Amino acid sequence: MRRATFLLPPLAALLLLTACGSEQAGTPGAGAAASASGAAVTTRPVDGVRITSVTIPSGTPASSPGSDGYSVHADPLPTGDSGISAAYEVTNDGAEAMTFSVLFDFTTDAGEVMGNRQETVRSVGPGATVRGTVRLGVSAPGASRVTRVSVARVTKVPAAEAPPASGECPPSGIRVSADDGDAAMGLRVVELHLENCGKQDYSLDGYPLLELLDGDLSPVEGVRIVHGSGGISTGTGFDEPARPLVLKPGESAVSGLMWRNTTGSGTPVDVPYVKVRAERGADPVTVTPHLDLGTTGKLAVRAWSRPSE
C-alpha cells in the first residue's frame, strides 16, 4: 500500500458531516467516514455511543459547496494540529448513572489505525444523552491520510464505582486505579494502584478483595483467585508475604493481577471488569483491565506493598 505523509495546508477546509446507522464494536473500518465530496457514512451505536459527525481537513483553499450540498469552509488550524475530529453522543439506557470510557480509532479507508484517543464521559444519568468531541491532535510523522473515525471499544461502570478523575479525591480518601498492564510470552500482569489522597493515615494489611465481572457487570464464574503467584510464574514478587502498611497522606501502595492467557480444552474466559475493594468494608472501585484469562481458570493476586518494594 502506498504511504503518504499527511501535510496540512495553511488553511484547511472542515467538512462537518452528520448521519446515523449501526456498528459492532471493533469492526475494522466501521465508523463515520468523510469522502472528498462531503458525503458521510455512519454506523449504528456501540453500547450507547454514536458518532454523529466527522471533521476531516481538505485542501480546498476557499469556501465552496460540496457536490452533495454540504458547505465546505476554509478555516485556519492550530499549528501542528491535524484538524481531524469527531462529534459523538453517549446515551445511557440503564437505570443508574454510569461512567463511560470510549476508545476511538482514527483510520484510513483500508482500516489501518493511524491513532486512537480515549475519552471518559462521567456520570451519565439514566436515559440521558451527553455530547462531546474527540480530536486526533497532531498526526504521527509519515502517517497515511485519516478518512474514518470509529468506536473501537466502550466500557461503562456505575458512576459511584468509577475511578476518580485525575486530581480528584473521593470521599473515602482513597484513590484506586489499574494500569494498562504488561505482557510477555503469554504472561499478563496488571498493576493496581492505591493512593491515600485524604487527610488521615490509612492502614492496609493483606490483599485487595476482587470480584470479576462480565460485560453485563454480572459475576464471572469458574475462575480461581489465588494469593501469591499460584505457580503461574516465579520471580515476579507475587509470593512476597503480606505486611502491615500505614500510608500517610500522599503515600501510595501497589498490588497486581497476574495470569496466562493460554488456551486448551474448555471455553476461554474474558473478564472486562474487576470490582476492587482495598480491604474488607472499603468502598468498591470498578476498573477495566480486560483480563483475557484463556482457559487456565486462575488469577493470581499480589499483596499490597509500597511501590519501591
Answer whether residue 30 shows pLDDT above 90: no
Q: How far apart are the first and last CA of the chain?
A: 48
Task: Read off the DSSP letter of residue 180.
Answer: -
Band (pLDDT 50/70/90 cuts) for residue 264 is confident
CA distance 50 to 42: 9
Per DSSP, the three-state class of 159 is helix
CA distance 29 to 35: 14
CA distance 218 to 287: 14
Q: What is the pLDDT of residues 34-72, one digit of tens each?
A: 533 333 445 688 999 999 999 987 743 333 343 333 333
pTM across the whole model: 0.76
Model pLDDT, residue 67: 37
Answer for the pair 62, 74: CB distance below 8 angstroms, yes or no.
yes
Smallest CA-to-CA distance from 237 within 252, 224, 254 is with 254
Q: DSSP readout, 250-301? A: T-EEEEEEEEE----SS--EEE-EEEEESSTTSPPEEE---EEEET--EEEE
- What mean pLDDT comes out for the span 101-129? 95
CA distance 181 to 175: 18
Per the model's pLDDT, the better-predicted residue between 111 and 181 turns out to be 111
Cβ-based neighbours of 269, under 8 Å, separated by 6 or more:
220, 222, 223, 293, 294, 295, 297
CA distance 161 to 176: 10
Q: What is the pLDDT of residues 125-161, one digit of tens each?
A: 999 999 999 999 988 888 888 989 999 999 999 999 9
CA distance 242 to 309: 12
Per the model's pLDDT, the better-predicted residue between 186 and 133 turns out to be 133
